[in-house]
Structure 1
Amino acid sequence: MYVDLTREQAWDVVRHIEARAPYRLCLLAELMRDTDGPVDQMDASLESLVPMWEWFTTIAVAGYPGVPSDVPSTYEPLIVAHAAPGTADLQRRAALLSEGLMHYVELVVRRIDPESRWDLWLQKGRIRMAQHQEPVIRLANGTPIHATYLVTDMARVAVNDKGGTARDPRALRDELASHLPSSWRRRHQDPQPSVLVPYLAYAGRTPPAIVTSSPLAVLFDAPAPAPAEPFDDVGVELLLAVGPAAGLDDPRHFAPLSVDTVAAVLTALDVTHEDGRPVKARELLEDGTQLFAADGTAMVETIATGGALRALSVEPAGGGTAATWSRIEDGLRRLAESLGGHLASDSEGWPEP
C-alpha cells in the first residue's frame, strides 16, 4: 500500500499521523474511563503496556463495543474499497481504537527516547514490499519501530488466538521491548501521573481537516501515475575511489577523499539522508552511511576506515528515471576525476592510477 504513494504523499501520511495523535489519545482515554479501564495507570512506562494490553484485548475480542464507527480512521478509504459485506463498521471501530493504542505506544517510546521521531521506512534495493515508505517511529540510534504494523497485527492475532499467548497481558510490552536496545529495556521508570487523562480535554473539539481527511484517499481517488521511464543499462554497482585496485580488497589502499568536497557534490545532486536532511561532511567519515537520491534513483554508501572516507559505493535504488541516473552518474564521475580518481564497476576492472 505505502509503496504506491509518491514520496511527498508518504510524508503527507506522516503529517496526518502527527496531527491526529491528541484526538486518538482522547478517544482511547474516554473509552478506558467509561469502561472502568486502568486509565490512571497509563503513565507511558513500559510496564503500563501490561494493563493496557489486558484491557485492549478484552475490548477487541468483544468486537470493540463503545468505539464509534462514524469517526473516519486513516484506513477509511481502504475499508470502503475492500471491506467484506457486513464487516465495514467492525473494521472502522478496530482501526480507530488501534490508532489510539499506536499513539500510546508512541508515548511509551518517547518516554524512553525523547529524541525519537516519526519517519519513513525506506526499503533498500530494487524489490519493494508494500511496507516501503511506511511511517515508523525512528529511535535516536536509527532503529525503526513499526508501530502501525505492530499494533494492528497484534490486535488481529489476539482476536483470533483463543487460549494462545497473543492475549497474554505481557505480550505488547514484550514485543515492543524486543525492538529496543537491551540497555534501554532495563532503565528504571518511576511511576508518574497518567499521560492519558490530560487528553480528555480534547473531547468535543473539532479536528482539523488534516485529521478528518485520510491521505490514503489518493490511492483510490487519483488516477494511476504514468509508469516511470525505465532504466537503460544502469544495473551495475559503481565505486568512486582514488588509488590502486588493491583497495578493492582493503580500502586502506585507497587515498582519503575530501569529505567537504564530496558532501557539496552530493548535496548538489540531491543525494540526502532518507528523511531529506542534507549530508554533513563529518557524517561521511562513518562507514556504511547510506544516502539516497530524492526520487529513489540511486543509493550511495560510504566506505570509511582509519578515520577517513576512502570510497563511495553507488547502486540503483529502483526508482527515478534513466535521465536522473545519468545526471547522478555524470556528477559523480566529474567528482572522481577532479579528485584524481575513478568511477568504475568492479566487473569492468579497476583501472590503476
Structure 2
Amino acid sequence: MAELGTGTLELGELTDADAQRYCRRFAAQQPLLLAELITWVADTGGPLDELDATWASLVPLWRWYVSFAEQGFPGIPGSVRPLSWVPVATPGCAHDVEPGAVQRRSSYAAQAVAAYCYHVLQRLAPQARWVPIDLPGAPGVRVHGHQLPALEVGGLLPLSLHTLSGLCARLLDEDPLWAHVRQPQALVQHLQRVSAPFVPGLWERPLAPDAACLPAPGRRTPAWPYAPFEPTGGYFCAQRLGPRARQGLPRPPGAEQAPWPHDGELLRFPFVISTLTDRRRRALLEEGVDVFDAARDVARLPPIPSAGLHEGLIALGFTGPDSPRLDEQEQHYLFMGQEAGLEVYTECHGGRLRLVRTEPIGAQGCSLQSPTGRWLVHQLQLLAAELGAGLHLEDV
C-alpha cells in the first residue's frame, strides 16, 4: 500500500451507529493485537513466562514495555497506523500533520498493551465491552479528542484507552515531570487510579494464573494492519448533537446584550482559564516557552480554586461530576444550549488545579458568536476573575 498522510478520527465526530460499529471493529482486533504483543515479548527475550493474565503480571509487562520503547519498538514496522487512522485529506480528521514513525509505532504498541489489559479485565469481568465515551450527564455527547473507546462493566467505565495510550506516549517525553512512568508499577498505578472511582477494588479481585489462555507467539505485525475506517454518516456529523441541541438550554435572559469579549478570537478558537497574566505569557513566549503545552510548565502555574470553578460552572448550567477531583485524571463539564455548546476539562498537577481547557461544540446551529455563546464567554470571564484567573487563547 502506498505511503499516505494520515490523521486520526474522533469518536465524538461520528454518528451513534458509526461509533458503535467502530467499537465492534476495535473489539474484533483485540485477539490479533494480543498475539502480536506476545510475539514482540518473545522476540526480544522478554518475560514471557511471567505473563499469566493476572493483575500481578502487569508489572513485568510494563517493565518490559519501557525497555521495548527505549529500543524503538523492534518488530513494529514504521508504516503501521493505529486502528483510528484516516487519510489526512478526510474532512473531520483530528490532525492534518503526518505523525513520525516512532509516534506511529508507539500508538500501535499502546493498543497492544491495552489488549493485554483488556484480556485481564475480561477474566475479572466477562461482561466488559467496548463503548464510546460520553460526557458525564450528557448521554450521546462524546468526550472531545477521544479516538479510542472505553471498557464498560455494568454501566461503568473502569478503563479508558485514551488515558492508557497517553501513559504509553509519555515514555517518549523527556520532560522530567513524567519520569515516574518508567517505574515498573506505573501501569498498575495508572489502572488503579482511573478505575477506582468507577469500580472500586476491580483489579484486586482474586484471579488464578492462566498462561494457557494467552496466544502462542508467532503473529508478525503487518506493515499496513488496517484499512481506514469509513463512516457511513460522515464526519463532523450533527445528528448526534442535533436532538440534544434542540432540547438544550434556552437562550439565557439578557444574552442579546452580552458584550463581545476584548479578544474576539475567544469566540472562534479553544481558550483556557489560567492564573497566568497575558503580559507574563507574552514574555514567556518570547523566550520560546509555551506554558499551556508542556506538562512540566503547566505544573508550575499558580493553582486555580477547584471548588469555586466547579460551583461556578454548575451554576452556569454546565453538567459535570458531583465534585471536583485533584488527581491527574481530567474531569469534563458540558454546556449544551440551543445555539451554543462548550466542553470544559480540567488539568491538575501536584494535587492542585492548574489549567482549564475548553473546546467549542461544533454542532449545526451552535456557535460561540451567537448571543448565548457571547453570554457564556462573558460569564466565564467573570467567573475566572473571581477565581483570580483569566481567559487566554490556547494557541497563539
Does TM, normalized by the shorter one, top 0.5? yes
Residue 158 of structure 1 aligns to which amino acid in structure 2?
L
| SS of match in other structure, 2:151 | strand
Q: Is the 8 A contact 2:13 2:236 kept in 1?
A: no
Partner of 1:104: 116
Tell me, yes or no, if structure 1 residue 164 matches structure 2 residue 179: yes
Distance 1:175 1:92, change over 3 A: same
2:106 is aligned, of 84, 89, 94, to: 94
1:52-91 paired onto structure 2 within 5 Å: 52-77=61-86, 82=95, 84=97, 87-91=99-103
**8 A Cα contact 1:105 1:147, kept in partner:** no
Please name the residue that 1:139 is paired with: 153
For 1:83 and 1:316, how far apart are their aligned partners in 2?
30
Please name the residue that 1:151 is paired with: 164
Q: Could you tell me which residue of structure 2 aligns to residue 46 of structure 1?
A: 55
- Deviations 1:22-72, CA, capped at 9 Å, x for gaps: 211111111110001112221221111100111111112332232123444
Paired residue secondary structure (1:214): coil
Are the aligned partners of 1:45 and 1:189 in contact in 2 as well (CA < 8 Å)? yes
Which amino acid is the alignment partner of residue 206 of structure 2? H
Cα deviations by residue, 1:65-84 (Å, 9 ceiling, x for unpaired) = 32123444213327787475
Higher helix share: 1
8 Å CA contact 1:10–1:133 kept in 2: the answer is no
Report if aligned partners of 2:51, 2:61 keep a CA contact under 8 Å in 1: yes
What is the match of residue 32 of structure 1?
A: 41
Equivalent position amino acid for 1:92 in 2: R
Deviations 1:113-134 (A, max 9, x none): 1222222222234976415795
Shift of 1:90: 1.8
User: Secondary structure at the residue paired with 2:130?
Assistant: strand
Q: Give per-residue Cα distances to partners, 1:124-183, cap 9 Å, x unaligned.
A: 34976415795211113x220343113211011232255821111111112212314444
Q: Contact between 1:106 and 1:147, CA under 8 Å: does it hold in 2? A: no
Q: Based on CA coordinates, which of the two structures has the bigger radius of gyration?
A: 1
Distance in 1, matches of 2:185 and 2:167, equals 12
Aligned residue in 2 for 1:188: 206
Which structure 1 residue ranges, 5 or more long, are not aligned? 237-298, 300-314, 323-353
Stretches of structure 2 that go unaligned for 5 or more consecutive residues are 1-9, 251-318, 320-335, 342-360, 366-396
SS in 2 for 1:145: strand
Q: Which secondary structure does the structure 2 equivalent of 1:77 belong to?
A: strand
CA distance in 1, matches of 2:190, 2:206: 18
Q: Which amino acid aligns with 2:208?
A: D
Report what 2:24 is aligned to: 15
Structural mapping, 1:1-353, within 5 Å:
1-77=10-86, 82=95, 84=97, 87-123=99-135, 124-125=137-138, 129-131=143-145, 135-140=149-154, 142-160=155-173, 161-162=175-176, 164-178=179-193, 179-180=195-196, 181-196=199-214, 198-200=215-217, 203=219, 212-215=226-229, 217-218=230-231, 222=234, 225=237, 235=249
The answer to whether the 8 Å contact 2:110/2:168 transfers is: yes
| Residues 64 and 226 of structure 1: CA distance in aligned 2, closer, same or farther (over 3 Å) | same
Query: RMSD of aligned C-alpha atoms?
Result: 4.0
In the TM superposition, residue 232 of structure 1 has moved relative to its aligned partner by 5.8
More divergent stretch after superposition (73-82 vs 222-231): 222-231
TM-score (norm. length: structure 1): 0.56
Pick which of 176-185 and 42-51 moved more: 176-185
Aligned residues: percent identity?
23
| TM-score, with length taken from structure 2 | 0.50
Q: Quick one: distance in 1 between partners of 2:247 and 2:131?
A: 32
Q: Is the 8 A contact 1:42 1:195 kept in 2?
A: no
Give the conservation status (yes or no) of the 8 Å contact 1:120–1:136: yes
The 1:194/1:13 distance shift into structure 2, 3 A limit, reads same
Query: Could you tell me how far apart the structure 1 residues matched to 2:143 and 2:33 are?
Result: 28
Distance in 1 between residues matched to 2:238 and 2:40, nearest whole Å? 45
